[in-house]
Chains A and B, each alone.
Chain A
Amino acid sequence: MLLGPSLAVSAILFSIGVMGVLLRRNAIVILMCIELMLNAVNLTFVALSQQLGLDGQVFVFFVMTVAAAEAAVGLAIIIALYRHRDTVNLQRINLLRG
């Protein structure tokens, strides 16, 4: 039931997330795009669990937990970065250049 549209939506969401990660320069926005990708995957899990059993739904909780932790750590890093460099523009943060 509605498997095709669900997967299509999740694919669109995932692509938006990827494009955002690739094209945006603001670290916070990139972090949000990553969340978007994670949630697109979550949607896929839920949609497919109709046919493949409840494992997918359980997995979604794990993903959300990890995403929450990642958001907390990621935002903390960005704040620390901002304090040092006065910017969250990732193009200007290239200390590890070879």
Chain B
Amino acid sequence: MNPLAGTAADWVGLAILLPFAGFLANGALAFLKPKAKRTVSVIGVGSVVAAFVVAVAVFLAVRAAHPAVPYVQTFWSWIPVGDLSVNAGLQVDQLSVVMLLVVTGVSSLIHLFSVGYMHDDPGYARYFAYLNLFVAFMLVLVLGASFPVMFIGWEGVGLCSYLLIGFWFEEKEKADAGLKAFLVNRIGDVGFLIAMFLIFTHLGTLDFRETFARAPQGLAAGGGTVTAIALFLFMACVGKSAQIPLYVWLPDAMAGPTPVSALIHAATMVTAGVYLVARANILFAMAPVASAVVAGVGALTALFAATIGLKQWDIKKVLAYSTISQLGYMFVGVGVGAYASGMFHLVTHAFFKALLFLGAGSVIHVMHQAYHHTHRQADAQDMRNMGGLAAYMPWTARTMWVATLAIAGIPPLAGFFSKDGILGAAFARGQGQPFYLLVWLLGIVAAFLTAFYMGRLMLYTFHGPNRTGDLERPYLTEAPWVMTAPLIVLAALTIVGGALNLPHVETLRHWLEPLTAQSAAFVPDLALSGGVEIGLMVGAALIGIAGLWLAGRILKPEALLPPERAPQETGFAKLLLEKYRVDEFYRRFIIEPLVWFARVVLWKGVDAGLIDTAGVNGSAALARGLGWIGSRIESGQVGTYVVFFLIGAVAVLAALLK
């Protein structure tokens, strides 16, 4: 009997049902009474806050019981086919409850922020319907007790992501961005499916509990099977969590409303891949090659995206690349076997990145309003149009500075501890395997770049002279309280979040131990000696400070020109501005050949040539030819018929008499 039975954990399904009910209600309102904004706000925010309350209750129950095994609730038998039996079930354990709290908590704040941000949008009800649906699906993903149930949530959040990126679908490029996100994610999802097939073939189950219990006996550690499973799972993560080479959809996803970027494309959905690796930690621990791939891809992505972030002018694009980069860190964490550190960074990142995005949203909101007042067509997201905003929006500036210091890794903010935990683990792993030292080095460089581009963002946005325009300047004010309040709450969380997993206290690591204990046998001890550890910490902090200092030192906000008068970039800076031309590369070498193949081979060749000509028209011609031959017999001459009749009669007689 699980100690969680009979506690609040039994009601965890409510956390999914409440936002789903909110989706249904808001969806109905979107059709029937799209103007009823007050009702929509109450339902939209209320349902998610209620889910958060459920989450807190479940968390308290888990903390009180601290079960050694996950508590699975089975509702009905979902796919009973032959040997395959998948139950619709939810799983409450230390890992899912962490995600449950983060998702519902951050969602509540972002829903509240959205009330202010989306207030004047005609699609207000539709927006909240989608956002509620997203929360419901995200919780299915997090709470699912088996791979297929998780996959439902996995696909569901992808759907909501698509709907919300293309929320303003009247503009073609935004609709296209949604499509791009959806299609790129499909590539990764193939990996998820193949991994599920492999798991079922080799372990005979898809339940989390069963799979992970059988894995150490059923699969050879380090063998090809477990490596393939882990790599295919990671392929799914690469798509969902925007790692190289499938990261290209995330920057485009910024076409959606900014709170969506904060919730889906920074704090929750994109971290699903990290959650998946942490969930399946035993599979990854048993496959050191796959884990090395995870860490390597993560480190490369962290550095790669950080360099692009150096030269972007769109405030949201900077944050998008920053998100990709930070997700890379999380994969380094789970790749080196420090699953708790990866999850820790996921949590703190959810706080400070949501804060950064909401801050950017607040800035964009105000900029947009100012331009709206004067009817000027200017880019409200271009940092070259900002500058000096700290004087007009003090709370936004302050809270964003907190997040910036956190992401730059300045102690004692949350980001410092979580990033240091990951880099420290990579360094420790590097003692035995030099490959991980390279991972650590990439991470350190990326950390420096992170501090630099964040310093650049803050400097250009909030400091120096204001470049918005003389007519617009009087309209620059602080955002309403529904927008600043979530910022302040998130800033508070960013400040204290590090306490979750302080070095040597490691609350989160001990909290997650029941789920990662199995993997401990396969992963070497990642503890460092005291001196080295302190040295690394001081080094990490210094690197963050150096990045910020350098940004303040060499960047001159006074010299910035508005976008229309900005000089052409040259050399490497141009390459960075053009994002290494990866999109163009994909277009040239993947999309265009694929379109050519589809058009020339599949359409003109197979469809028009083979199926239409040989298949459809060919069979018709064959039937017509046979009919023509048959019609030759029908001469209309009775005599001929009689001859045939006679031949037939003789043949029948001959057959009968034989």
Which A residues lie within 8 Å of B630 (CB)? 98
Chain B, 588-642, CB within 8 A of any chain A CB: 630-639, 642
Q: How far is the CB of B653 from chain A (nearest CB, A)?
A: 13
A-B contact pairs, 6 of them (CB 8 A): A22-B639, A93-B638, A94-B637, A98-B631, A98-B632, A98-B634
Q: How far is the CB of B629 from chain A (nearest CB, A)?
A: 10
Q: Kindly state the separation between the CA atoms of A47 and B637 in the bound complex, as whole angstroms.
A: 36
Whether B636 and A22, one on each chain, are in contact in the complex, defined by CB atoms closer than 8 angstroms, is no
Chain A, 49-98, CB within 8 A of any chain B CB: 90-91, 93-98
Whether B637 and A18, one on each chain, are in contact in the complex, defined by CB atoms closer than 8 angstroms, is no
Q: Kindly state the separation between the CA atoms of A5 and B509 in the bound complex, as whole angstroms.
A: 116
A-B contact count (CB 8 A): 32
Q: Is B654 an interface residue (CB 8 A)?
A: no
Q: How far is the CB of B206 from chain A (nearest CB, A)?
A: 63
Q: Which of A18, A94, A96, A97 contacts B646 (CB 8 A)?
A: A18
Which B residues lie within 8 Å of A22 (CB)? 639, 642-643, 646
Which A residues lie within 8 Å of B642 (CB)? 21-22
Q: Kindly state the separation between the CA atoms of A21 and B634 in the bound complex, as whole angstroms.
A: 18
Q: How far is the CB of B281 from chain A (nearest CB, A)?
A: 77
Which A residues lie within 8 Å of B638 (CB)? 30, 90, 93
Q: How far is the CB of B91 from chain A (nearest CB, A)?
A: 73
Given A18-B646, A22-B646, A98 and B635 contact (CB-CB distance below 8 Å): yes
Q: Chain A contact residues (Cβ within 8 angstroms of B): what range?
A: 10 to 19
Q: Kindly state the separation between the CA atoms of A94 and B640 in the bound complex, as whole angstroms.
A: 11
Q: Kindly state the separation between the CA atoms of A25 and B637 in the bound complex, as whole angstroms.
A: 10
Q: How far is the CB of B638 from chain A (nearest CB, A)?
A: 5
Which A residues lie within 8 Å of B643 (CB)? 22
Of B630, B638, B643, most buried by chain A (CB within 10 Å of CB) is: B638
Q: How far is the CB of B563 from chain A (nearest CB, A)?
A: 79
Q: How far is the CB of B418 from chain A (nearest CB, A)?
A: 86
B interface residues, Cβ below 8 angstroms from A: 630-639, 642-643, 646
Q: How far is the CB of A26 from chain B (nearest CB, A)?
A: 11
Q: How far is the CB of A28 from chain B (nearest CB, A)?
A: 13
Whether B639 and A96, one on each chain, are in contact in the complex, defined by CB atoms closer than 8 angstroms, is no
A interface residues, Cβ below 8 angstroms from B: 18, 21-22, 25, 30, 90-91, 93-98
Whether B637 and A90, one on each chain, are in contact in the complex, defined by CB atoms closer than 8 angstroms, is yes
Q: Kindly state the separation between the CA atoms of A17 and B646 in the bound complex, as whole angstroms.
A: 12
Q: Kindly state the separation between the CA atoms of A22 and B634 in the bound complex, as whole angstroms.
A: 17
Q: Which of B636, B639, B646 contacts A98 (CB 8 A)?
A: B636
Which B residues lie within 8 Å of A95 (CB)? 636
Q: How far is the CB of B630 from chain A (nearest CB, A)?
A: 7
Whether A94 and B635, one on each chain, are in contact in the complex, defined by CB atoms closer than 8 angstroms, is yes
Q: How far is the CB of A17 from chain B (nearest CB, A)?
A: 12
Whether A97 and B634, one on each chain, are in contact in the complex, defined by CB atoms closer than 8 angstroms, is yes
Which B residues lie within 8 Å of A30 (CB)? 638
Q: Kindly state the separation between the CA atoms of A22 and B640 in the bound complex, as whole angstroms.
A: 8
Whether A98 and B637, one on each chain, are in contact in the complex, defined by CB atoms closer than 8 angstroms, is no
Q: How far is the CB of B406 from chain A (nearest CB, A)?
A: 89
Q: How far is the CB of A81 from chain B (nearest CB, A)?
A: 11
Q: How far is the CB of B284 from chain A (nearest CB, A)?
A: 74
Of B632, B634, B639, B643, most buried by chain A (CB within 10 Å of CB) is: B639
Q: Kindly state the separation between the CA atoms of A25 and B640 in the bound complex, as whole angstroms.
A: 11
Which B residues lie within 8 Å of A97 (CB)? 634-637
Q: How far is the CB of B640 from chain A (nearest CB, A)?
A: 10
Which A residues lie within 8 Å of B636 (CB)? 93-98
Closest to A23 in B: B639
Closest to A24 in B: B639
Whether A91 and B635, one on each chain, are in contact in the complex, defined by CB atoms closer than 8 angstroms, is no
Q: Kindly state the separation between the CA atoms of A70 and B634 in the bound complex, as whole angstroms.
A: 25
Closest to A91 in B: B637
Which A residues lie within 8 Å of B637 (CB)? 90-91, 94, 97
Q: Which of A25, A93, A98 contacts B633 (CB 8 A)?
A: A98
Q: How far is the CB of B635 from chain A (nearest CB, A)?
A: 6
Which B residues lie within 8 Å of A96 (CB)? 634, 636
List the 9 closest pairs (A to B, CB-CB), nearest first: A98-B634, A94-B636, A97-B636, A98-B631, A96-B636, A90-B638, A21-B642, A94-B637, A97-B635
Q: How far is the CB of A21 from chain B (nearest CB, A)?
A: 6
Q: How far is the CB of B220 from chain A (nearest CB, A)?
A: 72
Q: Kindly state the separation between the CA atoms of A94 and B630 in the bound complex, as whole angstroms.
A: 17
Q: How far is the CB of B238 from chain A (nearest CB, A)?
A: 66
Q: Kindly state the separation between the CA atoms of A90 and B638 in the bound complex, as whole angstroms.
A: 7
Q: How far is the CB of B508 from chain A (nearest CB, A)?
A: 87
Closest to A98 in B: B634
Closest to A95 in B: B636
Given contacts A95-B636, A98-B632, 12 further A-B contacts (CB under 8 A): A18-B646, A21-B642, A22-B639, A22-B642, A22-B646, A30-B638, A90-B639, A93-B636, A94-B637, A97-B637, A98-B630, A98-B636
Which A residues lie within 8 Å of B632 (CB)? 98
Q: Kindly state the separation between the CA atoms of A95 and B457 in the bound complex, as whole angstroms.
A: 93
Q: Kindly state the separation between the CA atoms of A91 and B637 in the bound complex, as whole angstroms.
A: 6
Closest to A30 in B: B638
Q: How far is the CB of A80 from chain B (nearest CB, A)?
A: 16
Q: Kindly state the separation between the CA atoms of A94 and B637 in the bound complex, as whole angstroms.
A: 6
Q: Kindly state the separation between the CA atoms of A94 and B646 in the bound complex, as whole angstroms.
A: 20
Q: Kindly state the separation between the CA atoms of A77 and B638 in the bound complex, as whole angstroms.
A: 14
Which A residues lie within 8 Å of B639 (CB)? 22, 25, 90-91
Which B residues lie within 8 Å of A98 (CB)? 630-636
Q: Kindly state the separation between the CA atoms of A94 and B642 in the bound complex, as whole angstroms.
A: 14
Closest to A97 in B: B636
Which A residues lie within 8 Å of B646 (CB)? 18, 22
Q: Kindly state the separation between the CA atoms of A21 and B353 in the bound complex, as whole angstroms.
A: 101
Closest to B637 in A: A94
Q: Kindly state the separation between the CA atoms of A14 and B630 in the bound complex, as whole angstroms.
A: 31
Which A residues lie within 8 Å of B634 (CB)? 96-98
